[in-house]
Amino acid sequence: MKKSALILILGMACAAGLGLAQGALPYYTRTLLDPPPAGSGFDSIAAINAAGIVVGSIHTSGSRHAYRWLGDRTGAALPELSPAGQSYALAVNDSAVAVGYSVVGGRDTAMRWPDVAPGAGAIPAPKALPEPGPLPQFNTGSRAQAVNGVGISSGYYIDSGNKKHACYWLDTAVFKLTDGGAIESQALGMSNTDTVGTYDAGMGDRACVWEAGVVFVPLPDPAAGATSTRAIAIDASGLILGTYDQGGVSLPCTWSKAGAAYEPAILPLPENGTLAEPRAANDSGRIVGAYETTDMYSHACTWQGGEVSPLPEPAGAFGSDASAINASGQIAGFYQTATELFAYVLTPGTPPSPPAVVAPAIKITGRKKLTTAKAKLTIKGKATGQVTSVTYKIGSKPAKRAKGTASWSIQAALKPGKNKITITAHGPGGDSVPAKLTVTRKP
């Protein structure tokens, strides 16, 4: 049975007639991804495509297995290269092609699932992606970490010296990416034209981009004193997301191309954030990721227009992460409670209209003119609409509160002669037309 739940979140409230600021949050509906089978749990959420298909991995008895969730949030395990192995799905494109890697006998093997969302029948078996050089003597493993809209994937292979080298796969062919003679390199993200990642020339990891998939370009440090940098992802406009380390702290940044050069920009931290990492961006310029607070818990956030906004967390959550975003602004991630990890998709939409305000009305039970010899008289009636209180006045005396609202009553203290009593219902829609009663007390 499907166990999805909807939790409405209002990202921000604004006065009528005011537009949203660039960094402001839209209104989101949170949908929980179906949990994996009994005895399993969520391990990671990696990517979401335009159809809302999410890929990641689950854990079962200490092993990890690639998993995917459809747009209706129902999940299924992805086929393995080997029944004895483990697998991780790290990326998915809009054609439902997913990539990742398998671990069999301690060896990583880059892999590709040709269709993780077939219209009918079983999910097709994955294919191992080839590695450069003779196998298995020369290479010790590989991972595919990104796939673009035309099905080209990228990642790295590991040589016999346990060094990583960036590469990309086109159909069944593999190509090493040039890295300027670096000791190591790896591709972490890609668009339909460019690939981004890191290289190490002996001074620690540094961010880089391979323009048109082949031209190696080191990226400048975002700040003086940065000890390392990483380019993690790139969107269709060419905006590169990454981090730089300064004083042992990982901080968020971007690079954008200006002419022939790349200009870095530092992304802000939330007010209580100590470090952060952007994970993905869509074509509208919204970036998602996570930041850490002084209590060392991680929390999902988003950047847009140079502003940062923490993403709301459900009641009971003490940590969260936003891992991916698609073209329509759907965000995939997870949040943690004291006992369980939940995976979710946030879908932007229009907030529901506030309920209509119904003005109150009031009615007295019985006649509107009475004669009595009593010094006190109980008067009753009904109020309809949205009523928060009922008050009454006798002549020019101060108003007093009646007992009850929808069904109300008062104890009127009467003076000899005529007593003019006015009763009014109050609510968010204003005050009712007063109900009036005249009681004559005989001497």
For 129-149, what is each residue's pLDDT tens digit? 877 654 344 467 899 999 999
Identify the DSSP state of 404: -
Mean pLDDT of the chain: 89
| Cα dihedral across residues 17, 20, 21, 24: positive or negative | positive
The H-or-E segment that residue 79 falls in is none
- Say yes or no: 398 and 256 in one domain: no
- Say yes or no: 217 and 337 in one domain: yes
pLDDT score, position 26: 87
Q: Of 349, 384, 403, which marks where a domain is finished?
A: 349
Q: What percent of the chain has pLDDT over 70?
A: 93
- Say yes or no: 194 and 45 in one domain: yes
SS3 66: strand
| The one-letter amino acid at 57 | S
CATH code, domain carrying 394 = 2.60.40.10
> Is 62 a member of any domain?
yes
- Say yes or no: 31 and 73 in one domain: yes
> Is 394 a member of any domain?
yes
Q: Of 298, 329, 349, which marks where a domain is finished?
A: 349
CA distances from 110 to 79, 99, 158, 184 (A): 14, 8, 11, 18
Peptide bond into 354 cis (omega under 30): no
Beta-bridged to residue 130, according to DSSP, are none
CATH code, domain carrying 110 = 2.120.10.30
> Is 74 a member of any domain?
yes
- Rounded distance, CA 135 to CA 144, Å? 17
- Rounded distance, CA 378 to CA 370, Å? 12
> Is 356 a member of any domain?
no
- Give 181: exposed, middle or buried? Use CB within 10 Å, 0-12, 13-18, 19+: exposed
Number of domains comprising the chain: 2
The H-or-E segment that residue 199 falls in is strand 195-200
- Rounded distance, CA 20 to CA 291, Å? 23
**Rounded to 5 degrees, what are φ and ψ at 65?**
-140, 135
> Is 354 a member of any domain?
no
| Residues near 407 by beta carbon (within 8 Å), at least 6 away in sequence | 380, 381, 382, 383
> Is 75 a member of any domain?
yes
CA 357 to chain centre: 32
Model confidence at 301: pLDDT above 90: yes
pLDDT score, position 13: 31
| The one-letter amino acid at 299 | H
- The 10 Å Cβ neighbour count of residue 100 is 30
> Is 17 a member of any domain?
no
Q: Are the beta carbons of 95 and 151 closer than 8 angstroms?
A: yes
Q: Of 303, 325, 349, which marks where a domain is finished?
A: 349
pLDDT band at residue 24 using 50, 70 and 90 as cut-offs: low
- Say yes or no: 150 and 81 in one domain: yes
Q: Are the beta carbons of 109 and 101 closer than 8 angstroms?
A: yes
Stretch 354-370: mean pLDDT: 92
The H-or-E segment that residue 156 falls in is strand 153-159
| The one-letter amino acid at 425 | A
- Say yes or no: 184 and 236 in one domain: yes
Model confidence at 6: pLDDT above 50: no
Among 167-176, 191-200, 245-254, 365-374, the minimum mean pLDDT is found in 167-176
Stretch 400-406: mean pLDDT: 96
- Say yes or no: 268 and 393 in one domain: no
pLDDT in tens, 315-345: 999 999 999 999 999 999 999 999 999 999 9
pLDDT score, position 23: 47
pLDDT in tens, 37-82: 988 999 999 999 999 999 999 999 889 999 999 999 999 999 998 8
Stretch 277-296: mean pLDDT: 94
pLDDT score, position 133: 53
Stretch 179-186: mean pLDDT: 92
- Say yes or no: 159 and 234 in one domain: yes
* More confidently predicted of 23 and 83: 83
> Is 76 a member of any domain?
yes
- Say yes or no: 332 and 365 in one domain: no
Beta-bridged to residue 110, according to DSSP, are 101
- Rounded distance, CA 31 to CA 333, Å? 11
Supply angle C-alpha 44, 50, 51, rounded to 5. Answer: 85
Residue 432 structural domain: 361-441
pLDDT score, position 351: 86
Residue count (the chain):
443
How is 114-139 classified by DSSP, letter by letter?
S-SS-SSSPPPPPEEPP-SSSTTTTE
- Say yes or no: 165 and 201 in one domain: yes
Stretch 202-214: mean pLDDT: 92
- Rounded distance, CA 298 to CA 315, Å? 16
* Residue appearing with tokens 């009014």: 424
- Say yes or no: 133 and 67 in one domain: yes
pLDDT score, position 243: 98
Model confidence at 105: pLDDT above 50: yes
pLDDT score, position 139: 61
- Say yes or no: 270 and 195 in one domain: yes
Extended beta strands in 235-296, E state: 240-246, 249-258, 261-266, 273-281, 287-293
Stretch 395-414: mean pLDDT: 96
| Cα dihedral across residues 255, 249, 325, 164: positive or negative | positive
Stretch 306-317: mean pLDDT: 93
* More confidently predicted of 214 and 239: 239
Greatest CA span in the chain, whole angstroms? 118
- The 10 Å Cβ neighbour count of residue 393 is 15
